[in-house]
Amino acid sequence: MDKYQHRKGKAAVKIKTPDGQPLKNAKVEVKQTKHRFLFGCADFSVVPFVNNEFSDELREIVQMSFEKFVDLFNFATLPFYWGRFEPVRGKPDTQRLKNAAQWLKERGFVLKGHPLCWHTVTAPWLLELTNEQILDAQLGRIKREVSDFAGLIDMWDVINEVVIMPNFNKYDNGITRICRQYGRIGLVKMTFEAAKEANPKSILLINDYVVSDAYEILIEALLYAGVRFDVIGIQSHMHQGFWGVEKTQEVLERFSRFGIPLHFTEVTLISGKLMPPHIKDLNDYKPENWLSTPECEERQAMEAVLFYKMLFAHPLVEAITWWNFIDTFAWLGAPAGFVTKDGRIKPIYSALYNLIKKEWWTGTQELVTDQSGTLKVSGFMGEYEIAFKDKKASFTIDKPECTVEVTL
Amino acid sequence: MDKYQHRKGKAAVKIKTPDGQPLKNAKVEVKQTKHRFLFGCADFSVVPFVNNEFSDELREIVQMSFEKFVDLFNFATLPFYWGRFEPVRGKPDTQRLKNAAQWLKERGFVLKGHPLCWHTVTAPWLLELTNEQILDAQLGRIKREVSDFAGLIDMWDVINEVVIMPNFNKYDNGITRICRQYGRIGLVKMTFEAAKEANPKSILLINDYVVSDAYEILIEALLYAGVRFDVIGIQSHMHQGFWGVEKTQEVLERFSRFGIPLHFTEVTLISGKLMPPHIKDLNDYKPENWLSTPECEERQAMEAVLFYKMLFAHPLVEAITWWNFIDTFAWLGAPAGFVTKDGRIKPIYSALYNLIKKEWWTGTQELVTDQSGTLKVSGFMGEYEIAFKDKKASFTIDKPECTVEVTL
């Protein structure tokens, strides 16, 4: 049995010439050009990079890194942390983000904005408002970003970490206040309705790092309450060690029970010393210099391959996003990226490249059309290019069986 | 400030003589006879004891124990584990339970049945049924027990441990099956509706050992879904050590947010060596002989006093039930009771007796009625006896301020 069967499809490609005749008995070349599956990464340095804010050596490292980034991924997460996006009320950072989104879109990326509602890094000025005003500002903010970016960004992490949101007590913040007042389910419902209203075509995620019963019950409750969301987002920041096969399977099993697509939204496996297990909030760990070492880089690569294989083999998983590409900009200063601080590419890059662009990629095939000008193409779902002499056309395989027509 | 103010009330007691005249300037004695707060215990040996199934030395120990039990508590939990109550379909153990319930009721006890729906110790014959048939049997079972015992038992733990119910995988069982099929919220809704229908006056609890976000979210979800329940039941089996002040406060704070009464339904603090912290499912720990020791008995008493004081001080807590009274019959064989296997009363008994029947008890007061035959009685809420010469009457204080009339 092929454990990746659900990732593949067969297309009957009917080829016609410009005058409408079937292109009979012709030798053509077919190759995949893009994955349907979303292989993603979040590296927020793309924003200053695209906006030309880096200089000298750092600029060179970032430039080289994003070339590699573009070669490997087809999906990117862009930062919309409210406290950074709109530190002064009424002055959102829309243009810089649009520039970054445009740059990535031109390179074929699907884009996701993260997050629209979260208690961390939220706007500090919310604290001066009443709860009713905070809610208004939150829903207005959602509608503004989702409409401003429609067409560029049509996928959003609408609400982040709502499981702990009302109990978050490290510091006072506007979002915890309204989550307490309106309840988790009430707040989720309102934020998703606002986003859907602003862009009815958008794909909307709920996202959490809690993978226990608590998140599962929240999802059950949202479905029971008729709250519509498109994707269950699951974080997996494994700074304290790889989940391993058993936990990964267990999480997949529990969250697939709803029959809703799963995105692994924030994957971290580090190439350095693991964070000690006694740390409960990852933010509390602050080593002076968190080194990437050759042994740990091998471990990172091996674990990543195993993790990606398990997720790719599961029919409900539709996206995997690595959390940060360049160590210089990685969350918590962890050696979590594919590129070290001094610009060296770690083994994980070629390990995942071998999966994504080789093992799980349908390379060039030479095929011959039949008497009716038709040929059968089998391969991983995604976009394909078909070439006959100097002519090219494209088609998509997005179902187990499909029929497409192209003109060459 | 009096931290037990919410437990107390003031009654203006208007006393009349049988001919309807006010009993002026009379010296009367007033004393509390019963707590409004439910100080409870679960010791299921009450069933064989009341049904005369013990003999010899054990009978003596149990007899002595239940005398102590009746002196201290006003609330008891009776066992309705389906697998034991109806091991053969159609042959429920109704009569033995009725005998026990009657015996306790005659001694002034409020009674609760536990549990009506649970995946553990459930009826093994459910495994031969379809999910639809299991659900029918479950709802029928609830209606049968709740109506059969109405008037004797008007309080029920309707569903137990539903947080883990669909994920429970130690062994296959009918209840996990239907919880997976109908969902936690769906199953809770149906079981509570069945119980309420069978006895509209009953007080219905949801009960869980999970005190994390998961249970909190489930409660939020049930309220959002309009599922009606009367009490949030919180287990606290502290075989691995006392929660301490901080965790106790944190649990109280989180679960009091709903404004729904809280019952601490299953309190365990042991008088022996603690269970090691690495044990996840308490059932997995099976020491050969779990001794009660003098040092640990002192610890048990001190921790119990602290725990009871914290719970009694919280306005939403309405009941505390100790989990097992006699070590011989205690869950897991733990030294969790107030009475050792050889019939010795542990220090916890007098420690809690001092709280329940002394510190939190309004003893005999000599008072004098005024010109209108009225006197003011202040005290802990509950039932009172008032005596004038050889005449007696009773009244209840169940509000901060109330007016009652008695005839003496």
Query: DSSP strand E in B238-281: where?
Result: 262-268
Chain A contact for B249, CB < 8 A?
Answer: no
Of A184, A213, A225, Cβ closest to residue B214: A213
* pLDDT score of B176 more than 90: yes
CB pair distance less than 8 Å for B186 and A224: yes
pLDDT at B28 over 90: yes
The CA distance from A34 to A382, in Å, is 5
Cβ distance A185 to B213 less than 8 Å, yes or no, reads no
CA–CA min distance A224, chain B (Å): 7
Mean pLDDT of A382-406: 96
In the predicted model, what is the mean pLDDT of residues A185-202?
A: 98
For residue range B265-301, list pLDDT tens digits in order.
Answer: 999 999 999 999 999 999 999 898 999 999 999 999 9
The torsion angle over the Cα atoms of residues A268, A271, A273 and A279, rounded to 10 degrees, is -10
Residue B387: the pLDDT is: 96
To the nearest whole number, what is the mean pLDDT of chain B?
97
Per-residue DSSP letters for B333-350? G-S-SSB-TTSPBPHHHH
* pLDDT computed for residue B288 by the predictor: 86
What is the spatial distance between Cα B385 and Cα B368, in angstroms, rounded to a whole number?
Answer: 15
| Residue B216 DSSP code | H
Check residue A62 and give its pLDDT: 97
The predicted model gives A14-28 an average pLDDT of 95
Q: Is the confidence at residue A112, as pLDDT, over 90? A: yes
* Confidence (pLDDT) at A246: 96
pLDDT tier for residue B1 given thresholds of 50, 70 and 90: confident
| Statement: residue A383 has pLDDT above 90 | yes
Q: Are A384 and A28 in contact (CB under 8 A)?
A: no
* Span A32-73, pLDDT tens digits: 999 999 999 999 999 999 999 999 999 999 999 999 999 999
Q: Is the pTM of this model over 0.90?
A: yes
A-chain residue closest to B226, CA distance: A225
Note the pLDDT tens digit of each residue in B52-111: 999 999 999 999 999 999 999 999 999 999 999 999 999 999 999 999 999 999 999 999
Over range B241-267, report the average pLDDT: 97
pLDDT at B400 over 90: yes
Which residues of chain B make contact with A225, given a CB cutoff of 8 A? 221, 224-225
A257/B180 CB distance under 8 A: yes
Over pLDDT 70: what percentage of chain B?
100
The fraction of chain A above a pLDDT of 70, given in percent, is: 100
pLDDT at A100: 98
Q: In a 3-state reduction of DSSP, which class is residue B398?
A: coil
Interface A-B, measured as beta-carbon pairs within 8 A, has a size of: 60
Domains of chain A: 5-33+362-407 (2.60.40.10), 34-46+74-345 (3.20.20.80)
Q: What percent of chain B has pLDDT over 90?
A: 99
Of A180, A210, A217, the CB nearest to B184: A217
Q: What is the mean pLDDT of chain A?
A: 97
CA A107 to CA A399: how far, in whole Å? 24
Task: Specify the pLDDT at position B151.
Answer: 97
Distance (Å) from the C-alpha of residue A190 to the closest C-alpha of chain B? 14
What angle, 0 to 180 degrees and rounded to 10, lies between the N-to-C axes of helices A294-312 and A244-256?
30
**pLDDT above 90 (res B45):** yes
> Does residue A1 register a pLDDT over 90?
no
